[in-house]
Amino acid sequence: MKTNKRTKPLNAYVLFFIISGTQLGDPAQSFQRNVYIAAGHDAWVCMILNGLLVSAALYAMVKTMGVYPEKDLYQIHQELFGRWLGKLFNLAFVLYFFIFCFTVLHSYGEVVHTWLFPDMNSWLFNTLMSLLFLYGVTGGVQVIAGFAVVSFILWLWVFLLYYFPWKYAQVDQLLPLFETGPGQIVKGMRAATYPMLGYELVYFLYPFIRDKHNVQKYSQLAVAFTVFTYCTLLINAIVFYAGEQLKHTVWATYSWYKIAQFPFLERFEIVGAAFWMILVLPNNLVLLWASTRGMRSVFKLKQKYALYACCLIFVLSSELLFTHEDVEWVSNLLGEFGFFLVWLYPFALLALVRWKTGRAKKKGAEA
């Protein structure tokens, strides 16, 4: 499964938009509640610590890809572990990205049902979104990157809306600082794992980047921007909501839109919920692209047929995962896998790659 040479290479700066867009797309709607329940008013510390861990893991990922500049993780697994064990590792990532995409789709579908169209059939929503997925993913990584850049730029104006909660803020709710114990901080970091997922896409986008020497820089900038954004949203939520209120507010970010007032628009939260699809769509596209790309390796299935199968599953499973508890359960499951991804896998893989390349060089020198 070699990288398609006909694909025009991407500039490294697109990684900033793809990674940060994927990290922020779904969790930014509602992540505050879970992190606050775990770590209280020091929850923002958990986001910073998680950001440092992700930054270290990302550094290891890019170093690993530097050894195999023309291969993605699926191909690296095959080379390192052989045919069958490599396929097993690849299958894990295929399922991971598919479930990730599935969760983002249903999470946004829940928002659409709650805020926009309460009577809309879930199968209709999933069908319409699947048609967009078919168009975007079949266009290839260039189309997906274009979606990511444009949607991110269009979404930036939403930051202006976070002025409204500060009119009612009670800053003393952040005090006393650093009161939370280490055990609660660790729990908060686990709760904050899912919002940070998405940086692992570097493993699959690296072969398509033209200026590979800039991959580390733009990827790290993306993570830094994500951490800054999450800390801003989390601090906003803590100073705006009372503690018990935040624990029971599912969509803390969306709820702010209710207090945004404009003379020409009465219910801005409807616009905000609809506009969020601009950020969620490229999120789904890149996750589905990564999953279906791996299916070529695992199942020897053409990517377009894998894409059709995934979209069909999305439509047929419309009623299987549509309560908030279901979505949250799967999100927590992804977070647990992501916790392993942050703490262990990138460093273990880098160590294995360096050991294997060092051993090969030693044998070559002896020969």
For residue 361, the surrounding DSSP H or E stretch is helix 345-366
**pLDDT, averaged across the chain:** 90
Position 2 in a domain: no
DSSP 210: S
- Which residues span the domain enclosing 279? 14-366
**Taking Cα atoms as reference points, which of 77, 97, 22, 19 lies closest to residue 310?**
97
In CATH, what number is assigned to the domain containing residue 277? Answer: 1.20.1740.10
Give the mean model confidence (pLDDT) for residues 66-90: 95
Please tell me the distance from the alpha carbon of residue 247 to that of residue 253, in angstroms, as a whole number: 13
Instruction: Assign 2 a pLDDT band (cuts: 50, 70, 90).
Output: very low
Instruction: Please count the other Cβ atoms lying within 10 Å of the Cβ belonging to residue 124.
Output: 12
Span 283-330, pLDDT tens digits:
999 999 999 999 988 998 999 999 999 999 999 988 775 577 778 888
| Token reading at 132 | 């967009």
Alpha helix (H) residue ranges in the chain? 14-25, 31-39, 43-67, 73-81, 83-111, 122-138, 141-155, 163-166, 182-191, 193-196, 202-205, 215-240, 243-247, 252-256, 268-275, 277-299, 303-316, 324-343, 345-366
Give the mean model confidence (pLDDT) for residues 204-217: 97
| Token reading at 222 | 């993306």
Span 97-129, pLDDT tens digits:
999 999 999 899 988 988 888 888 889 999 999
Give the mean model confidence (pLDDT) for residues 70-80: 95
Position 133 in a domain: yes
Please tell me the distance from the alpha carbon of residue 142 to that of residue 4, in angstroms, as a whole number: 12
Position 4 in a domain: no
Give the pLDDT confidence score for residue 322 in this predicted structure.
Answer: 57
> 175: helix, coil or strand?
coil
Max distance between CA atoms of the chain, in angstroms, equals 79
- Cα distances (angstroms) measured from residue 49 to each of 52, 53, 185, 325: 5, 6, 9, 27
Instruction: Assign 3 a pLDDT band (cuts: 50, 70, 90).
Output: very low
Please tell me the distance from the alpha carbon of residue 40 to that of residue 346, in angstroms, as a whole number: 30
Give the mean model confidence (pLDDT) for residues 47-59: 96
DSSP 10: B
Please tell me the distance from the alpha carbon of residue 188 to that of residue 35, in angstroms, as a whole number: 5
**Taking Cα atoms as reference points, which of 19, 22, 49, 59 lies closest to residue 346?**
59
Give the pLDDT confidence score for residue 216 in this predicted structure.
Answer: 98
| Token reading at 312 | 């069909």
Domain count across the chain: 1
